[in-house]
Structure 1
Protein backbone atom coordinates (compact mmCIF):
# COMPACT_ATOMS: atom_id res chain seq x y z
CA UNK A 1 0.00 0.00 0.00
CA UNK A 2 1.39 3.37 -0.96
CA UNK A 3 1.38 6.48 1.14
CA UNK A 4 -0.68 8.32 -1.47
CA UNK A 5 -3.62 5.96 -1.09
CA UNK A 6 -3.91 6.81 2.61
CA UNK A 7 -4.16 10.55 2.00
CA UNK A 8 -7.65 11.96 1.91
CA UNK A 9 -8.42 15.22 0.27
CA UNK A 10 -10.65 17.45 2.34
CA UNK A 11 -13.47 18.83 0.25
CA UNK A 12 -15.84 21.48 1.47
CA UNK A 13 -19.46 20.74 0.89
CA UNK A 14 -20.22 23.69 -1.34
CA UNK A 15 -23.56 23.70 -3.11
CA UNK A 16 -23.37 23.99 -6.86
CA UNK A 17 -25.70 27.01 -6.76
CA UNK A 18 -25.31 29.87 -4.38
CA UNK A 19 -27.85 32.66 -4.29
CA UNK A 20 -25.20 35.07 -3.01
CA UNK A 21 -22.87 34.25 -5.87
CA UNK A 22 -25.69 34.64 -8.38
CA UNK A 23 -26.57 38.08 -6.98
CA UNK A 24 -22.91 39.13 -7.02
CA UNK A 25 -22.56 38.00 -10.62
CA UNK A 26 -25.70 39.87 -11.63
CA UNK A 27 -24.57 43.02 -9.79
CA UNK A 28 -21.16 42.84 -11.45
CA UNK A 29 -22.77 42.48 -14.86
CA UNK A 30 -25.02 45.49 -14.21
CA UNK A 31 -22.06 47.61 -13.09
CA UNK A 32 -20.05 46.69 -16.20
CA UNK A 33 -23.05 47.48 -18.40
CA UNK A 34 -23.54 50.88 -16.79
CA UNK A 35 -19.84 51.66 -17.18
CA UNK A 36 -20.01 50.79 -20.88
CA UNK A 37 -23.07 52.98 -21.38
CA UNK A 38 -21.40 55.89 -19.60
CA UNK A 39 -18.24 55.46 -21.67
CA UNK A 40 -20.22 55.42 -24.91
CA UNK A 41 -22.19 58.51 -23.85
CA UNK A 42 -18.95 60.38 -23.12
CA UNK A 43 -17.53 59.33 -26.48
CA UNK A 44 -20.66 60.57 -28.26
CA UNK A 45 -20.44 63.86 -26.35
CA UNK A 46 -16.76 64.26 -27.29
CA UNK A 47 -17.49 63.59 -30.95
CA UNK A 48 -20.28 66.16 -30.91
CA UNK A 49 -17.91 68.72 -29.39
CA UNK A 50 -15.28 67.89 -32.01
CA UNK A 51 -17.81 68.66 -34.73
CA UNK A 52 -18.43 72.10 -33.18
CA UNK A 53 -14.78 73.21 -33.29
CA UNK A 54 -13.75 75.87 -35.78
CA UNK A 55 -10.89 75.50 -38.26
CA UNK A 56 -8.34 77.19 -36.01
CA UNK A 57 -9.01 74.85 -33.09
CA UNK A 58 -9.00 71.81 -35.35
CA UNK A 59 -5.64 72.91 -36.74
CA UNK A 60 -4.34 73.29 -33.14
CA UNK A 61 -5.12 69.65 -32.37
CA UNK A 62 -3.92 68.42 -35.76
CA UNK A 63 -7.27 67.33 -37.19
CA UNK A 64 -8.73 68.44 -40.49
CA UNK A 65 -12.44 69.15 -41.07
CA UNK A 66 -13.01 65.91 -43.00
CA UNK A 67 -11.61 63.78 -40.17
CA UNK A 68 -13.63 65.70 -37.60
CA UNK A 69 -16.79 65.22 -39.66
CA UNK A 70 -16.02 61.52 -40.09
CA UNK A 71 -15.53 61.05 -36.34
CA UNK A 72 -18.62 63.08 -35.49
CA UNK A 73 -20.88 61.00 -37.71
CA UNK A 74 -19.88 57.68 -36.18
CA UNK A 75 -22.64 55.97 -34.21
CA UNK A 76 -22.31 55.86 -30.42
CA UNK A 77 -21.55 52.13 -30.36
CA UNK A 78 -18.40 52.34 -32.49
Structure 2
Protein backbone atom coordinates (compact mmCIF):
# COMPACT_ATOMS: atom_id res chain seq x y z
CA UNK A 1 0.00 0.00 0.00
CA UNK A 2 2.87 2.34 0.72
CA UNK A 3 4.31 1.70 -2.72
CA UNK A 4 1.08 2.88 -4.41
CA UNK A 5 1.11 6.14 -2.44
CA UNK A 6 4.74 6.77 -3.27
CA UNK A 7 4.10 6.00 -6.94
CA UNK A 8 1.18 8.42 -7.15
CA UNK A 9 3.18 11.16 -5.41
CA UNK A 10 6.06 10.62 -7.82
CA UNK A 11 3.76 10.75 -10.82
CA UNK A 12 1.96 13.86 -9.61
CA UNK A 13 5.31 15.56 -9.18
CA UNK A 14 6.25 14.67 -12.73
CA UNK A 15 3.00 16.05 -14.09
CA UNK A 16 3.32 19.40 -12.35
CA UNK A 17 6.98 19.74 -13.29
CA UNK A 18 6.24 19.22 -16.99
CA UNK A 19 3.44 21.83 -17.09
CA UNK A 20 4.54 25.07 -18.71
CA UNK A 21 4.18 28.21 -16.66
CA UNK A 22 1.45 30.58 -17.91
CA UNK A 23 2.90 33.29 -20.10
CA UNK A 24 2.10 36.94 -19.51
CA UNK A 25 4.05 38.15 -22.50
CA UNK A 26 2.40 41.50 -23.21
CA UNK A 27 4.63 43.96 -24.94
CA UNK A 28 4.46 47.66 -24.22
CA UNK A 29 3.55 48.30 -27.85
CA UNK A 30 0.51 45.99 -27.73
CA UNK A 31 -0.55 47.44 -24.38
CA UNK A 32 -0.26 50.96 -25.79
CA UNK A 33 -2.29 49.93 -28.85
CA UNK A 34 -4.98 48.47 -26.61
CA UNK A 35 -5.17 51.64 -24.50
CA UNK A 36 -5.46 53.80 -27.63
CA UNK A 37 -8.23 51.61 -29.08
CA UNK A 38 -10.21 51.64 -25.84
CA UNK A 39 -9.89 55.41 -25.44
CA UNK A 40 -10.87 55.97 -29.10
CA UNK A 41 -13.96 53.82 -28.61
CA UNK A 42 -14.95 55.69 -25.45
CA UNK A 43 -14.49 59.05 -27.18
CA UNK A 44 -16.58 57.86 -30.14
CA UNK A 45 -19.37 56.77 -27.78
CA UNK A 46 -19.26 60.10 -25.96
CA UNK A 47 -19.39 62.03 -29.24
CA UNK A 48 -22.27 59.90 -30.53
CA UNK A 49 -24.27 60.45 -27.33
CA UNK A 50 -23.65 64.21 -27.52
CA UNK A 51 -24.72 64.37 -31.18
CA UNK A 52 -27.91 62.42 -30.51
CA UNK A 53 -28.72 64.65 -27.57
CA UNK A 54 -28.30 67.79 -29.69
CA UNK A 55 -30.28 66.24 -32.52
CA UNK A 56 -33.10 65.60 -30.06
CA UNK A 57 -33.19 69.30 -29.16
CA UNK A 58 -33.79 70.43 -32.77
CA UNK A 59 -37.14 71.91 -33.78
CA UNK A 60 -39.11 70.88 -36.88
CA UNK A 61 -37.73 73.75 -38.95
CA UNK A 62 -34.10 72.68 -38.38
CA UNK A 63 -35.00 69.04 -38.98
CA UNK A 64 -36.52 69.95 -42.35
CA UNK A 65 -33.35 71.87 -43.21
CA UNK A 66 -31.20 68.77 -42.73
CA UNK A 67 -33.74 66.45 -44.37
CA UNK A 68 -35.01 64.57 -41.33
CA UNK A 69 -38.53 63.95 -40.09
CA UNK A 70 -39.66 63.78 -36.48
CA UNK A 71 -39.89 59.97 -36.88
CA UNK A 72 -36.27 59.85 -38.10
CA UNK A 73 -35.26 61.88 -35.07
CA UNK A 74 -37.09 59.60 -32.63
CA UNK A 75 -35.58 56.52 -34.25
CA UNK A 76 -32.03 57.93 -34.02
CA UNK A 77 -32.28 59.27 -30.48
CA UNK A 78 -33.73 55.98 -29.20
CA UNK A 79 -30.53 54.12 -30.10
CA UNK A 80 -28.05 53.40 -27.31
CA UNK A 81 -24.76 55.31 -27.47
CA UNK A 82 -22.73 52.27 -28.43
CA UNK A 83 -24.81 51.50 -31.53
CA UNK A 84 -23.91 53.13 -34.83
Same fold flag (TM > 0.5): yes
CA distance in 2, matches of 1:50, 1:72: 8
When Rg is computed on C-alpha atoms for both structures, the one with the higher figure is: 2
Task: Give the equivalent residue in structure 2 for 1:70.
Answer: 75
Q: Aligned pairs, how many?
A: 60
Coordinate RMSD, CA, aligned: 1.6
Q: Which structure has more helix as a fraction of its residues?
A: 2
What does 1:56-67 align with in structure 2 at a 5 Å threshold?
56-67=61-72
Q: What TM-score does the superposition give when structure 2 sets the normalisation length?
A: 0.66
List, as ranges, runs of 4+ consecutive aligned residues in structure 1 with deviation greater than 6 Å.
none
Gaps of 5+ in 1: 1-16
CA distance in 2, matches of 1:22, 1:47: 38
